[in-house]
Amino acid sequence: MKITHSVIFCFAGQIPLALINIPWSLYSTFVIEHKFGFNKQTPQLFFKDVLLTQLLTVAIGAPLLAAFLKIVDYFGKRSLAFYVMVFLVTVQIVMIALYPTLIQPLFNKLEPLQEGEVKSKTEELCRKLKFPLGKLWVIDGSRRSAHSNAYFYGLPWSKQIVIYDTLIAQSEPIEVVAVLAHELGHWANWDTTRQLLIAEVHLFSRCMVLSLGVFVFVFCHILDVY
């Protein structure tokens, strides 16, 4: 029951923060972005995104928070840092695998990149870098913004590249490939791997601090009892 109360308390505290953030997001989207010709959102789409984001936060975050608290409750006096670390790393890996297929399609439409110069030059670049390309996608970024971008994601042995439709519309094929070359350069230079390792070390250090805090709490409680 205490875990349920803790989850409710945490998410109840997020409601005021979400409401406070809405005016700033509205100003950023419909004033600043609109001023420079980037905004393509409608108010209906904006609030749909806000609502969907909050629902997903609760639907995904509540079970994860409950599991985290259960681990803290069960392993609080022994090897807490190790079990919390294993749990959080597992969640990261699962989310990397599930986000593109289950979450992102709720917000954007992805379609396979059509045959043409952009696709052929991209595949040529991937072969040259020995990049483990799985699929090439085009995302409807123009639905919300005129900004253009490209990125890749996926597990080490199978990556997928996503190109904004705005980038294709605004650029020559060689310019699109130049943007992708920059992104794939992060992969070739092991930037993403190093960033992930740094994040895991930071995560482990926070777990150790959490474990130390629990130990201090239990130790002080024992002193108070005796």
- Residue 172 phi/psi, 5-degree rounding, is -75, 155
Segment 167-194 mean pLDDT:
92
More confident residue, 77 or 86: 86
pTM of the model: 0.80
Segment 195-212 mean pLDDT:
75
Which two three-digit tokens encode residue 110? 């992805």
At residue 220, the pLDDT reads 55
Q: How far apart, in whole angstroms, are the C-alpha atoms of residue 186 and residue 131?
A: 11
Question: Model confidence at 132, in pLDDT bands (50, 70, 90)?
Answer: very high
At residue 175, the pLDDT reads 96
- Any catalytic annotation for residue 183? yes
- Residue 39 phi/psi, 5-degree rounding, is -70, 130
At residue 210, the pLDDT reads 63
Segment 68-97 mean pLDDT:
81
For domain 110-189, give the CATH superfamily.
Metalloproteases ("zincins"), catalytic domain (3.30.2010.10)
The catalytic position among 123, 175, 183, 200 is 183
Least confident residue range of 8-12, 84-88, 144-148, 201-205? 201-205
Q: Quick one: CA dihedral 88, 93, 98, 99, positive or negative?
A: positive
Segment 60-74 mean pLDDT:
89
Count the helices and strands in the chain (H runs, E runs). Answer: 8, 4
Q: Cα–chain-centroid distance for residue 121?
A: 28
Q: Quote the radius of gyration of the chain (alpha carbons, Å).
A: 22
Residue 79, phi-psi category: left (phi > 0), alpha (psi -120 to 50), beta (remainder): left
- Return the number of other C-beta atoms located less than 10 Å from residue 127's C-beta: 10
Question: Model confidence at 223, in pLDDT bands (50, 70, 90)?
Answer: very low
> How long is the chain?
226
Mean pLDDT rounded to a whole number for the chain: 86
Q: Which of 149, 183, 185, 186 is nearest to 167 (CA)?
A: 149
Segment 64-68 mean pLDDT:
91
HEC string for 54-85: HHHHHHHHHHHHHHHHHHHHHHCCCCHHHHHH
SS3 111: strand
Element (H, E) at 213: helix 191-225
Ranges for all domains in the chain classified under CATH 3.30.2010.10:
110-189
